[in-house]
């Protein structure tokens, strides 16, 4: 999907999340970003006690679920919307989740702190430079750590926020340089739109990964 103007900016998402928080949608049991079976599948792939990084965490719903289901996990959520990060910090202070406002498109850096699990959920389809963002995400992941990514399958959701179609093969080729095996789960319509989840164990060194970019 090509478009002249990329609307995915911090200001745009501040407006989206401000509306969703202020209207009560984020706290509603029918919140449209609550991908229940997908979130449940993600949590089953995480060991309690893991250090978890959620890139593009939005209103923090998945971070919250992980911490509630896996209380020993150390959870960090990143997003470039300052508004939603502030709301997340206020709501989840008692849970001990760390939220940071970071430009997740191009400012990811490990800063000496590597994670056991890195998540990139409902984020890939919004990126102009997905390859570099994924490479940066893997730079935050320990060798032997788990990377989990979810996105619409073939982008069957008409949405001006989405910049690119992602099919199974495209996603496989994006992730294959980082691991010996890439595993998939597929979620058919019924609960939501066609969706896919990919997960893998990081087996390449940073130097090896950088050589394929």
Q: Does the CA dihedral 129-157-52-47 come out positive or negative?
A: negative
Token pair belonging to 37: 């079976």
pLDDT value at residue 153? 76
CATH numbers and ranges of domains, the chain: 10-212 (3.40.50.150)
Of the pLDDT bands very low, low, confident and very high (cuts 50, 70, 90), residue 154 is confident
Percent of the chain with pLDDT strictly greater than 90? 57
Q: How far is CA 32 from the centre of its chain?
A: 16
Helix axes 10-22, 82-91, angle to 10 degrees: 40
Of the pLDDT bands very low, low, confident and very high (cuts 50, 70, 90), residue 123 is confident
Helices (H), 45-77: 61-69
Q: Give the tens place of pLDDT for each residue, 17-65.
A: 899 999 999 999 989 889 899 999 999 999 999 999 999 999 999 999 9
Q: Give the tens place of pLDDT for each residue, 101-114.
A: 998 777 777 556 79
Helices (H), the chain: 10-22, 36-44, 61-69, 82-91, 130-139, 168-175, 206-212
Residue with tokens 């959701």: 157
Q: How far apart are CA 94 and CA 202, in angstroms?
A: 32
Of the pLDDT bands very low, low, confident and very high (cuts 50, 70, 90), residue 163 is low
Q: How far apart are CA 119 and CA 111, in angstroms?
A: 17
Q: Please say whether the beta carbons of 177 and 209 come within 8 A.
A: yes
Token pair belonging to 47: 């060991």
Q: How far apart are CA 120 and CA 198, in angstroms?
A: 10
Q: How far apart are CA 42 and CA 14, in angstroms?
A: 26
Q: How far apart are CA 108 and CA 65, in angstroms?
A: 23
Cα three-residue angle 27-162-34, rounded to 5 degrees: 20
- pLDDT surpassing 50 at residue 1: no
Token pair belonging to 19: 């509306």
Q: Stretch 82-110: mean pLDDT, rounded?
A: 89
**How many other C-beta atoms lie within 10 A of the C-beta of residue 163?**
20
Q: Is the pTM of the predicted complex or chain greater than 0.75? A: yes
Tell me the three state secondary structure of residue 129: coil
């Amino acid at each position: 999907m090509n478009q002249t103007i990329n609307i995915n900016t911090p200001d745009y998402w501040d407006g989206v999340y401000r509306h969703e928080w202020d209207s009560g949608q984020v706290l509603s049991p029918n919140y449209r970003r609550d991908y229940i079976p997908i979130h449940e599948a993600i949590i089953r792939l995480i060991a309690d006690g893991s250090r978890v990084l959620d890139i593009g965490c939005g209103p923090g719903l998945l971070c919250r679920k992980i911490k509630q289901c896996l209380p020993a996990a150390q959870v960090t959520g990143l997003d470039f919307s300052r508004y939603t990060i502030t709301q997340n910090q206020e709501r989840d202070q008692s849970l001990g989740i760390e939220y940071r406002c970071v430009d997740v498109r191009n400012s990811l850096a490990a800063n000496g702190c590597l994670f056991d699990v890195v998540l990139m959920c409902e984020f890939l389809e919004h990126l102009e430079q997905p390859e570099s963002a994924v490479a940066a995400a893997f730079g935050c992941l320990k060798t032997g750590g788990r990377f989990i990514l979810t996105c619409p399958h073939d982008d069957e959701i008409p949405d001006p926020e989405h910049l690119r179609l992602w099919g199974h093969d495209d996603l496989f080729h994006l992730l294959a340089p980082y691991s010996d095996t890439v595993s998939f789960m597929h979620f058919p319509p019924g609960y939501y739109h066609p969706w896919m989840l990919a997960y893998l164990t990081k087996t390449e060194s940073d130097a090896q990964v950088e050589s394929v970019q």
